[in-house]
Amino acid sequence: MPETSNRNRLLRAASDLIRRKGYEGAGLNEILEAANLPKGSLYYHFPGGKTELAEAATRWAGEGVERLVDRIFTEAADFRHGAVAVSTAIAEHLDRGERLLACPVASILQAVASETQLRGVGQTVFSGWIGCLTRHGERLGQADPQDAAETLVMLMEGAWLMALAEQSSAPFQRLARRLERGIAA
């Protein structure tokens, strides 16, 4: 149990710091301090060091978003209502934090555009979100589920970037209203 707990503490701390400071700005010692763990824990769980930890933290955070999307869309009457509910849920989640953090994928991509390995993790997470939304779109009878899924991810990423700039959940609230009216997606 402690082994998994230590791994999860490292993932949570790395995800938080990378989202706050970017990949380059989040130092290993700072991550270890935030996780309250010794350096040996990092290399035990992530022998590849910071890059492996950043990959795992990005996947971990991305999977959390995907679980949220899947849960909400499972209960949705149609794709539009699912999209509205996801936008509203993300806005509510952002309101609970002391400081609004960047999207877990965008935060890793911004500083590592030239690092194929980390960029690939971002692509994998986005593909997971789009795949989840596409499956729900198919189930809900969406005319072009893949297109709807990609459009929603693009809209949400734009809202997340604006939310980060504004330090407010308002862009997600505005997106939810537009989706409700059928103006977007």
- How far is CA 11 from each of CA 5, 113, 133, 165, rounded to the nearest angstrom? 10, 21, 25, 25
In a domain, 153, yes or no: yes
In a domain, 143, yes or no: yes
In a domain, 15, yes or no: no
- What per-residue confidence (pLDDT) applies to 140? 97
What CATH number does the domain containing 119 carry? 1.10.357.10
Per-residue pLDDT tens digits for 144-183: 999 999 999 999 999 999 999 999 999 999 999 999 998 7
Q: Which of 137, 139, 105, 97 is nearest to 121 (CA)?
A: 105
Q: Domain range spanning residue 72? A: 54-181
Q: pTM of this prediction?
A: 0.89
Per-residue pLDDT tens digits for 48-70: 999 899 999 999 999 999 999 99
Per-residue pLDDT tens digits for 101-141: 888 888 887 766 566 778 889 899 999 999 999 999 999 99
- What per-residue confidence (pLDDT) applies to 104? 83
